[in-house]
Chain A
Amino acid sequence: MIEKARIKELQEELSGLGSSLEGRNRDNPFRVPEGYFEQLPPAVQDRILSGRKASPVRAAPRRLAVVLSSFALLAVIAVSLLLLGRDSDKLHAGEDGIYFSLYADLDPYFWYDMVLETDITADELQFGQQTLMSDQDEELLIDYLLERTEAYGLDAGGNLYLPDGQ
C-alpha cells in the first residue's frame, strides 16, 4: 500500500512537470551475472576476514598513467637538451653547469608527481614488473617512446641531433 502511494506520488510529480517519463516503464535495464547476489555475501565475508582490499580502479588506467608520465618525463628532458644545444654558444660555462646540475639532481619520481595526481608508489613505477605491465605492453611503450624521442631530437642511441641541420 505504501509502495503504491509512493509510485503514485512519483507519477504525479512527473505529470506535474509535463514529462514523457511519466508513462515509461521504470524497470531496471541492467543485469548481473547469474548467481551474483548469492555469491556476494560470502565474498564480503572473505574480504572482511582476510582484510583484502579490492582495487576499484584496475591496472589498465595505471598502465596508461605510467605511459603518459614516462612520455612527459622524456619529452621534458629531450626538449631541454635540444634547447641547451641550440643556445650553447650563448651560455657561459658557469650557466651550463647550473643547467646540467639542475637536470642531474632531479629525482625521476619528482616528474611523476608533477604530471600525475596519483597514489601510485615509487616501487609500482619500476618498469618491467609483471604485475604492472605485460611484455607486450612494455614493447609498445618502448616503441612509442623511441618514436617520440626521435621527434624531439634524440636518436635511438640516445644521441642528440638537430633537425634540418641546425
Chain B
Amino acid sequence: MHSDEELLEMFHAGDNPDYAFNLIVRKHQQSVYWHIRRLVISHEDANDILQDVFVKAWKALGSFRGDSGLFTWLYRIATNEALSFLKRKKTRFLLPLVDLEKQLSETLEADVHYEGDAIEKKIQKAILSLPEKQRVVFNLRYYDEMKYEDMSRVLDTSEGALKASYHHAVRKIEKYISGD
C-alpha cells in the first residue's frame, strides 16, 4: 500500500490525479467513515457526509501542502462536516423542542446495521449523552486509538485540554453505565 506522501506526490504530479485520488479514497474511507458514523449514528447520514468529505477533499487537495498529514486533514474535514450536520439537524428540527440526543438514541435502537450487545448499546448511549466535542474526543481516543498529538491537529486544541476532555468523558460514561 502506498504511503500518504506517495499518494500526494502522485496526485500533485498531475499524470493521473483521478487514479491517485481513488487510491486515497480506498485507503482512508473506512477509518473516516467509522469516525463519522459514531457521531451521526445513521448509516445513510454517514454515507452522505462521507461523500461530501471526499468531494471537498478533492476540491481542496490541489492546494493542500501536506504539513498536517493527509490522514489528520481528512479527519478534520470529516469532524467539521459531521458536527455541521448535527447543528443543521438541530436547527431544522427546531431543537430544543426535539432532543437530539434522544433522536440519535432512537436511531441507534432502530438501526439494522448495529450489532452491539446490551452493554455495548448502553455505552453508545452514554457516549451520546456527552457534549458533541467531548464525544469526538472520546471516540477518537477510545475507538480510533488516536494519539493526542494527532488529535490536537485534527481538533486544533492543545494536548492538555484534550486529555482533560477525555478523562471527563470517561468519568461521565462510567457514571452513566453504573446508573448514578
Mask of A23-46 contacts with B, CB within 8 angstroms, 1/0: 010101111110011001101110
Compute how far the CA of A43 lies from the CA of B88 in the bound complex, rounded to whole angstroms. Answer: 24
Task: Determine how close the nearest CB of chain A comes to the CB of B95; give it in whole angstroms.
Answer: 11
Query: A118 to B92, Cβ gap below 8 A?
Result: yes
Main secondary structure of the interface of B (DSSP, over half): helix
Q: Does B180 contact A (CB under 8 A)?
A: no
Query: A19 to B52, Cβ gap below 8 A?
Result: no
Residues of A within 8 A of B33 (CB): 32, 37, 40
**In chain A, what residue has the closest Cβ to B171?**
A17
Report the interface size for chain B: residues with CB under 8 A from the other chain. Answer: 54
Query: A33 to B113, Cβ gap below 8 A?
Result: yes
Query: A20 to B177, Cβ gap below 8 A?
Result: yes
Q: Does A1 contact B (CB under 8 A)?
A: no
Q: Does A68 contact B (CB under 8 A)?
A: yes
Query: A64 to B85, Cβ gap below 8 A?
Result: no
Compute how far the CA of A53 lies from the CA of B51 in the bound complex, rounded to whole angstroms. Answer: 9
Compute how far the CA of A116 lies from the CA of B54 in the bound complex, rounded to whole angstroms. Answer: 30
Report the interface size for chain A: residues with CB under 8 A from the other chain. Answer: 41
Mask of B9-29 contacts with A, CB within 8 angstroms, 1/0: 000000000100110011001
Compute how far the CA of A21 lies from the CA of B84 in the bound complex, rounded to whole angstroms. Answer: 29
Compute how far the CA of A27 lies from the CA of B55 in the bound complex, rounded to whole angstroms. Answer: 29
Task: Determine how close the nearest CB of chain A comes to the CB of B54; give it in whole angstroms.
Answer: 5
**In chain B, what residue has the closest Cβ to A14?**
B170
Q: Does B67 contact A (CB under 8 A)?
A: no
A-contacting residues of B (Cβ < 8 Å)? 18, 21-22, 25-26, 29-30, 33-34, 37-38, 43-45, 47-52, 54-55, 58, 81, 85, 88-89, 91-94, 111, 113-117, 119-121, 123-124, 141-143, 145, 147, 166-167, 170-171, 173-174, 177
17 intermolecular pairs with C-beta atoms under 8 Å apart:
A13-B166, A17-B167, A17-B171, A21-B174, A29-B121, A32-B113, A37-B30, A40-B33, A48-B21, A48-B55, A55-B48, A56-B81, A57-B85, A57-B88, A58-B44, A62-B92, A65-B94
